[in-house]
Amino acid sequence: MEFLVPIGVCVVLPVLIVWLVMRTRQNEANRKAEIMLKAIEAGVPVDMTQFNSAKKGPRTIKQELLEKFTGACITTLMGIAFLAFAIWAYYCQGAFDTIMDFYGNMPFGLAGGILLAVGIGLFISYFAGKKMLAKEMEAEEKNLER
């Protein structure tokens, strides 16, 4: 029984995810083909641009920096939350006698420290990138205005 959960998480779950994604793509392709066949049978000219996927175009430098800033905010706040929980659980030891001891809190503290460090690194990267790429962002905005 103890091997069922790791096997389920490591083998079955990824296979199910891949199967679901492929099934969704196949259904989408089948629907597009069905629409095209009906349009051709009816003699209506088919505009192929309607069936192009709505992928985003190239991202600007500013968008990439804002995504980095968002990631920095999320990871920093998660790190603070994990650390706060670990500290709270440690100082409320009486309430967690049988459930958590000091070593029970260590994974939360470790995860919080790692997330906090990654968040701070992303903040540093964001502010350094913003300072270094200021001229490129300004030129890119001028090109977009044209």
**Higher pLDDT among residues 99 and 4, named by residue:** 4
102 pLDDT more than 60: no
> Does residue 79 sit in the same domain as residue 141?
yes
* Arithmetic mean of pLDDT, 13-42: 90
In this structure, is residue 56 part of a structural domain? no
> Does residue 34 sit in the same domain as residue 85?
no
Residue-number span of the structural domain to which 124 is assigned: 61-145
Which of these, 119, 117, 113, lies nearest to 72 by C-alpha position? 119
The model's confidence at residue 9, banded by pLDDT at 50, 70 and 90, is: confident
98 pLDDT more than 70: no
> Does residue 33 sit in the same domain as residue 79?
no
* Arithmetic mean of pLDDT, 70-75: 95
In this structure, is residue 87 part of a structural domain? yes
Domain count, the chain: 2
> Does residue 76 sit in the same domain as residue 100?
yes
Residues 6+ apart with CB under 8 A from 89: 96, 100, 104, 105, 108
The pTM of this model reads: 0.57
In this structure, is residue 15 part of a structural domain? yes
